[in-house]
Chains A and B, each alone.
Chain A
Amino acid sequence: MSDATLQPVTEETAGELGLLEGEFQKICEILGREPNFNELSVYSVMWSEHCSYKNSIVWLKTLPKDGPHMLVKAGEENAGLVDLGEGLACAFKIESHNHPSALEPYQGAATGVGGINRDIFTMGARPIAQLNSLRFGELSEDRTKWLLNGVVRGIGNYGNSFGVPTVGGEVYFDKSYHQNPLVNAFSAGIMRTGEDPVISAKAEGPGNPVFIIGSFTGKDGIAGAAFASKDLTDASVEDIPSVQVGDPFQEKLLLEATLELAKTGAIVGMQDMGAAGITCSTAEMSAAGGVGMDIHLDRVPTRQDDMQPWEILLSESQERMLAVVKKGREEEVRRIFEKWDLPCAEIGAVVDRDQLTYYWQGEVVAQTPADPLVLGGGAPVYYREYREPAYFKAYQKFDINSTTVPQDLKAVGERLLQHPNIASKRYVYQQYDSMVGTINMNTNLPSDAAVVNLKDTQRALAMTVDCNARYVHADPYQGTMIAVAEAARNIVVSGGQPSAITNCLNFGNPYQPEVYWQFVNAIKGMGAACEKFQTPVTGGNVSFYNHTVREEHTEPVFPTPAIGMIGVVEDKKHHTPLAFQQKGDLIYLLGENRNDINSSQYLVQEHGVEASPAPFFSLEEEYALQEQLKMLIRKGLLQSAHDVSEGGLWVALMESAMSGRLGFDVTTDSAIRADAYLFGESQSRVVVSVAQDRETDFVDLMMLNGVEFDLLGHVTKGSIRLDDRDWGHVEHYTQLYEEAIEKEMLR
């Protein structure tokens, strides 16, 4: 190596690589000299927002981390680990892949799925179920259709081939996501406590060999750094794809090989390679163990012949891991990887000082201590300015009396059921294998949260991902509390006990004080709600810079702190469907109806009003409701339970009806405006059905607590009746609801 990458670089190059003012100086202080290009590349990716969380970490640290069931807390490993009881533990996490998906939806989404699953199995847990949370612009736009098709095929092909079921998720459409879709992937894995070793992401034991395992390293995913290197390499950089390419077949082999390897006890530590590839994994594993590494980049198996050291350092090729192996047990590792026909190479060793040294054919090409590179070590931390945006106060001024009740409420009801935010997502979820693994208990008994069987135990695992970003936009504090509350409510109505959350924080540009205000208040709201429900935050991911560029200005996406929550269903018998079960059952509403149409889909769709506050929410009321539901379910008093969310009570009733292919006959409350009663989205309400012969027991238990409840009516064979008026048959609405998205997509 005699080229320019070994020469000292200037502050100007640092700026081109995305480092901030002052950060170059800091690097010079750490190294005691000016960095060369390779070293600067290492710092630029490690101190990027994505790896360092430099603009978010001060606020993330305020979130509750510990709870009664935590085995591994946030930040300690790649993902949190929660005790499920009966000898099982769950590792779970959610991560964004927004920007790659905006450019190349198929590969962007596919590699998002691959990455989140590696986070789980690198710990030694076998992924058992996946969820996803997706946001797109308006469905009528061609760009949205292209993105949706690509993202869904990407998630589907990768997840289906990898063999882990996609058991739930959410999809919303809003114009704020037009250019910048959100693709958040969640995975949960299971391990046997005491039996399966938790594989730590820590390097230890000087002299222990370091292996790279999995796919070959190629020139993919390094365009971010490449653009600045035009004077260093030849014109071929133009060929470098900016989005990584996923191979689920390799991932499946890597999963099996990794778990087999984990069982041998030959592993000291292991971490998957995501952002910043070899750089990030060597730095983080070294810093976590308080050691360093000597890494020989020329020993890395590469896909192309002409790769430069910095390309190997920064490559984000998928389906790779870094593993530190106990000295003397190298052959066991090689044997397993040979069995699975996967590349594996010893590329260096652990050293007993905080120094990362990267070699190329025996020559040092980059050298830096590990600790200053990483979050919690010397990586920069910033306090950002924030300011309440003008819209916030303006939204509070909305008055329901400025709108009138529509004449034809039935027509409104039909339109709402066909709105893409409410209509069946069948077009999407049918493209995912939801049943592989034979654990999905929702296939034949759908409930609000996904529920999967924990084989050979009494228990099941519930999981959900939720966020109504319109509420968060209207009021980030209240809206994020609602997101956590809705996730918990979904777990509870399905028969579970909320355990913990992971979050995916999708926001605009953190350097805009109004955007940062949304972020800060969202974190505060999340913290308050997580404290209340005793659901600690086990980890997650921050994605800033999500916005749509318009002619006049840049519009940030709706602030979207997606909440992924897991919960334990202690007895499979508690799994409660959302569908009405039989004609004649009584329908009750738990929680209080209010004269509230704030931020409802109805208000936006029918009145064109975007400026309104978040709907009513009280953390105390919500908590009381959930405690009450847990008791009712444990006593076996509910035939069905379904929470009231987008589209209000009308949509909740219809979803219970359509899912059970039954109807309902209910009486509305004249004290509340008819549109607010049917379509309002005030929180903390659940529609339940009760068998006639259990009604007395149900009412007795309800009377013990202060939770409001109201008899709405009863389940019918199929006719829909409101206040003794005929609203038609359930089949009619089912067809509208199930076909709306598919019709729009095929148009």
Chain B
Amino acid sequence: MKIGVVIFPGSNCDHDMIYALGHILGHEVVELWHKDHDLQQVDWVVLPGGFSYGDYLRSGAIARFSPIMAEVVQHARRGGYVLGVCNGFQVLCETGLLPGTLQHNLSHRFVCQNTYLRLAHPEHPFTAGLESARPYKIPVAHGEGRFYADEATVKQLEDQGQILFQYCDAEGRVSEEANFNGSVAQIAGVSNAGQNVIGMMPHPERAADPNLGNTDGRALLESFLMAAGQTA
């Protein structure tokens, strides 16, 4: 599997993602510079976390106009795989590749902590490699991560099985208390209707290295890539 990680000015989880996918999972990973137009024939494009272009104006709002994003949109429209994490998720929502928006956390504070995720639709191909019975411990770090979409869109996401992850507690219960940022329907991650684009606020790449005592994120990344491998 050849994976391209986009580097925007201000990306800061780019190297973490490259380390997780390349060094830990052993895939071929290339860096895609924001000023370029060449996707180097990758199977997957990953938009990493960070503060692209300083996130001035609104998170992800400027990045969508970068040269590389025109190619990423084409890639996605052709059915190519795209994963956006944190700021990458915000960029994907800004481009319209994913539904909804990401707003300020209800507390209006940046929050960095471990959270727990449970599978909303275990049969979704991206999460088919995961266990539906248990929560996954995945860190978050964001100030603008409250997923919002109108009622009709949320219903559509539910009906079409596009909700990948919901925030839950350590025992796997979905509750308002575990929904620390106030996301609608506790949504932590979604896919598009075509099931080739994923966005999520939590950082799976931060839970991939056994030296850090948590490899739940590695399981997520493996499941995403496996789903793509089967349909490719």
Contacts and interface: CB of A to CB of B under 8 A. Distances in A.
Nearest to A460: B211
- Which residue, A431, A435, A443, has most C-beta atoms of chain B within 10 A? A435
Given A161-B51, A436-B49, 18 more contacts: A153-B109, A160-B110, A161-B55, A163-B13, A248-B51, A249-B53, A250-B54, A340-B9, A429-B112, A431-B111, A435-B112, A435-B206, A438-B20, A438-B208, A438-B212, A441-B211, A441-B212, A443-B214
A572 B211 contact: yes
- Which residue, B49, B55, B113, B114, has most C-beta atoms of chain A within 10 A? B113
B213 A249 contact: no
Interface of B: 9-10, 12-13, 15-16, 19-20, 49-51, 53-56, 109-114, 139, 141, 143, 203, 205-206, 208-209, 211-214
- Which residue, A248, A439, A443, has most C-beta atoms of chain B within 10 A? A443
Contacts of B212: 438-441, 443-444, 453
B104 to A, nearest CB: 13
- Which residue, B56, B110, B111, B214, has most C-beta atoms of chain A within 10 A? B110
A440 B214 CA distance: 11
A443 B114 contact: yes
Contacts of B205: 438
A254 to B, nearest CB: 11
B218 to A, nearest CB: 11
B54 A249 contact: yes
Chain B contact surface mostly: mixed
- Which residue, A340, A430, A433, A440, has most C-beta atoms of chain B within 10 A? A433
A16 to B, nearest CB: 39
Interface in A409-453: 429-441, 443-445, 453
Contacts of A455: 19
Shortest Cβ-Cβ A-B pairs, 8 listed: A163-B12, A249-B54, A444-B213, A161-B51, A438-B16, A433-B141, A453-B211, A433-B112
Interface of A: 153, 156-157, 160-163, 247-250, 252-253, 340-341, 429-441, 443-445, 453, 455, 572
B12 A252 contact: yes
A156 B110 contact: yes
Nearest to B139: A435
B110 A162 contact: no
Contact of A436 (B12, B20, B209, B214): B12
Contact of A161 (B12, B19, B211): B12
A438 B19 contact: yes
Given A253-B9, A435-B112, A445 B213 contact: yes
B203 A435 contact: yes
A460 B176 CA distance: 38
Contacts of B113: 430
Contacts of A434: 112, 141
B208 to A, nearest CB: 7
A644 B4 CA distance: 49
A429 B143 CA distance: 14
Given A163-B50, A248-B51, A438-B16, A431 B110 contact: yes
B209 A248 contact: no
A441 B109 CA distance: 24
A249 B112 contact: no
Contacts of B206: 435-436, 438
Contacts of A429: 112
A712 B98 CA distance: 57
